[in-house]
Structure 1
Amino acid sequence: MFSENYAASSWCLDELVKIMECRKTFQQTVLPIFYDIVPFDVQAQNGSFTEAFAKHEERFKEGSDGKVKKWRAALTEAANLDEAKLIEKIVEEVGNILDLEHLSVANHPIGLDDRVQELSTLLGMESNNNDVCIVVVWGISGIGKTTIAKKLNNLIHRKFDGSSFLADVRETWKLPNGLTIDRDYFGSGSKIVITTRDLSSLNIEVDKIYTPKELDKDKSPQLFSWHAFREDHPKENYVELSNQTVHYARGLPLALEILGSFLFPIRSIPEWESAIEKLKKIPHNGIQAKLKISFDSLSNEVQDLFLDIACFFAGMNRDFTIKILKGCKLYPEIGFKILVNRCLIKYGPYNELVMHDMLRDIGREIVKTKSNDELERRSRLWLNSLEELLLNDYIRLVEVDESIGCLDKLVVLDMTNCRKLEQLSSSISMLKSLEYLDLSGCSKLRKLDAFKRSPLKSLYTTLSSWALQTKNTSSIGLPLQGSSCLKKLKLAYCNLSHLPIEIGSLISLTHVDLTGNNLCTLLDSICNLTCLQELKMVGCNLSNLPSEMERLISLIYLDIGGNNLCTLPNSIYNLTCLQRLEMAGCNICLVKLEG
């Protein structure tokens, strides 16, 4: 900073020489400021500089390695720097630091720069196009629309002659007919950014629409961790709990911030577990209030449609849902369009209805709240927590709807004596908790393709003679292959003539009941079942048993009564875990019993 008395100080002049050397050597930026003095006086050492240098010449007239000459050269060089550009840069830099209009953005702007850059590109900030450009930032509440707009405003507003940021336009100005903008009111090159949850509220022609995506699997944990742990990663022993919470938030920045801040004061793992379970049932008030704004703005009919989707149809095929709702004398197509425009639903790659988990939970919470949480007074009942579904003796049941696949907590499914049931929906393979399935008496059942590559963990399949009357496992397509987690298999009185060779691949089986079939022989592959504890083959017309029975190392109970067996393989004597052996009605002479 040059002032009237600057040249009188030899220390300042030495410092200036050093500054200009650093500019040449290290390409450092030098920004000269002239305070109460014109640049020409500094450049030519006129005015007060003339008197100061006369004294310096007198003082250093004998040598000093040309000190005065270096001072003059440094002053001239500094004063010759492009003043206009330098002043403009100073104003910009100082303005950015001291800007009173600086808009506050997120304390932890994880993923924000990428989104701002995307928006900036859509606005054409790097192009020379001078047209007025209007870009709409459209998305669900909490996705970060306003934060993105504020950050971009902070970065670019000084590049324009004027700028303005108007917050909460609809709520503040109460626009009954939506937002209208006349491009003619704006100067050449103007950039206009509008944020909205509802495209239908805009009565203007926009150039482009920017839809921010949810944070990805890398950035979501970072944002959550900054709020929950005050660092960019979870603390040790909290990784799994953090992953659960991040998964629930589904990349929604608002949810990640609120949930992280909510969990920050909680320090014990059991308290975290309890808090997370509660959040899954009852959404956090801060999140619920924000997301519910869009719901409250809907008409009664569309609110009902939203609640129907939240309770029943989220994740289901759009066309199927329309068919169901039309059957209820409802007309959902217009409502779907409104919900899509307000980012409350979207369509997935397979035309399924996609609703954010938190919107779904808020919808269900609205239903519960309206009924004072009394089950019998609810307008809608959803069965996602159902553990037992008993349809036994439901003789008019012909087909099981694919929506049964949504019952992800179902453990028991009993369809005994459903005599008109012809096929099972493939969605049954989605029942990851199912342990017991009873199809006894389903006399018209023809295919069980639902269990191919099934993820079922512990399936107890009961098939009676009615279910497979005069059929074998091949003719009805019993898909044993791929069911490696199957533990209990009952095929009693099914009139089977043989077993599929794949039975040997069911290595988790502990109980097998083949009673009352006409097998004649037993496949050697059954000896692969090293976990088998109980094997019942009563009245199967068997004439011999596999020679490698000793491989059934876990077998405790074996019932082979009522067969045509005359001898037993020697290997049966090596079943060291066998505690009970029944052979009633067999013509077997035991010549060797040891152990």
Structure 2
Amino acid sequence: MQEANIRVFLDEEELHVGKEIADELPVAIEKSKIYIPIFSKGYASSAWCLRELAHMVDCKKSKPSEKEIMPIFYDVKPRDVKLKSQRYVSALEEHEEKFGRETRQKWEDALKSVAQIKGWELKKQGHWKFIQSVLQEIVMKMKTKDKYVTEHLVGMDDPKEAVRSCWTWTPGLALCPDKLKISYNALNHEQQQIFLDIACLFVDKDKTNALYMWKDCGFRPDHSIQVLVCMSLIKITDHNKFWMHDQPRDLGRKIVHGDTRPTNPRKQSRLWDLETADNIIGTKERKKHIEAICLWETRVYTSKEFSRLPNIRFLMLVGGNFSGDFENHFSELRYMTRTGVSREFLAINFHPSNLVVLELSYSSITEEWAGWSQFKVAKKLKVLDISHCSNMTRTPNFSDYLSLERLNLEDCKKLTEVDGSLKSLSSRILYHSKMINANCPLGWKEVQLDRLEQLVEFDVDDLDLEGFSGLSNLKRLKRLTLYECQNLTAIQGLGSLDSLEQLDISICPKIGSLDDLSNLKKLKSLRISNCEVLQAVKGLDELETLATLDLVNCDH
């Protein structure tokens, strides 16, 4: 635990010689938030263990929302602790002779109670893997600093038969390289891959699109990100971006480089240095280790060059173009980000069938771009970003992108038509729609949301929007942002969004009233600004989860 940046105090430090141990242990237990009794073969032989276990159970009963018991079944099974075998029964019989029937019953009840809790069993897994899983779970529970944990290690083959400790953990501390490496080693494979991706590719980048790639790769990103945050290896900023201190970032890049010995860059899994990447892609040997590459050259990259990268799953290309026959290439590609794409598309058979994220922002492409027909095979595509494509007057046909969930049309200033195929999608699409003109066939005067039941986020910026229909159907909606909707007069159905967590209404000068918000039981952030004619907002007193309330220039 010390090596994982959890400060450990052993009994000789916390329970000072000359003081009454019976007085100090209950105090230590009462101050703790998480209890970890470790059941071994000799556990029930110790009256101290049983006495402390009973006290843990009492504390848990008195403050059930503040305390948690997380048992470890080291070399016994839960059925042993439930007293369904003789392993602990004989020890309890001996205790009864010394302490009486009432004490024995109290200890029995405590054992049976804790044995009902799902804990860890060592079984046949290796000690190191077992320690990893325990450590991760504990760190996940200790999300805020200065939470105390009492651990009781008794009956194990150790010179110190009884170890009693309180742990405190303070996230965000600078770590020496050795301790950082230990924290990295405590991660499982999927968490390590995400950590290395962030260190090499996604520092100060929005996390949303990366999550789609990791999910499709089987990296369990929601849980893995939570682990990395709780271990203070990364942070998520208020702007939904990854932040990483220089030390863990450098560690991640050092690991990819080959740890302490720089290796041949051809054997690196990720190439983020632009000069190195461009040099490596031109070499003739097959580079099966490379999973991610960032290129920033205005030259044309050939299919022959990419044929030597069979396992690439992330590709960034700024400027430049593709040429040649790409059949059977990019079978592992999940994430492609291209900036400054020209109107010409020189490649043929460009079929990234497993692509889930496609970013084409700040490009010269139009709806007639030849590349659209090449990407039709991307049936798994979840994200399409064509923001800041200033020449686009009409969106492409979306009928082949049946899995599309996120569409970013931000700052497409000439866009006047959204293809009607968008209506036929699977109703899970998220629009980012800054600067779209109002004469769109989808009806941007009144947005129809009836078929978008799976919508999680909805951001509208600078439209001539006058109203919604079907907003009350969005039972999964977590974030609603309305910005500079100059003609919007009402938001019907707002009070029915019982999953809503963030509501931001800014510079909507014609909104006169809002629904009663008392049913928004999950709302955490409410920001209303520059809505000059808005009357009193009802239901604020009943928003128990509200953490942020910002009302600015709402004179009424």
TM over 0.5: no
TM interval, shorter chain, is 0.3 to 0.5
Larger Rg over CA atoms: 1
Name the structure where strand makes up a greater proportion of residues.
2
Name the structure where helix makes up a greater proportion of residues.
1
Q: Name the TM-score, length of structure 2 as normaliser.
A: 0.34
Q: Name the TM-score, length of structure 1 as normaliser.
A: 0.32
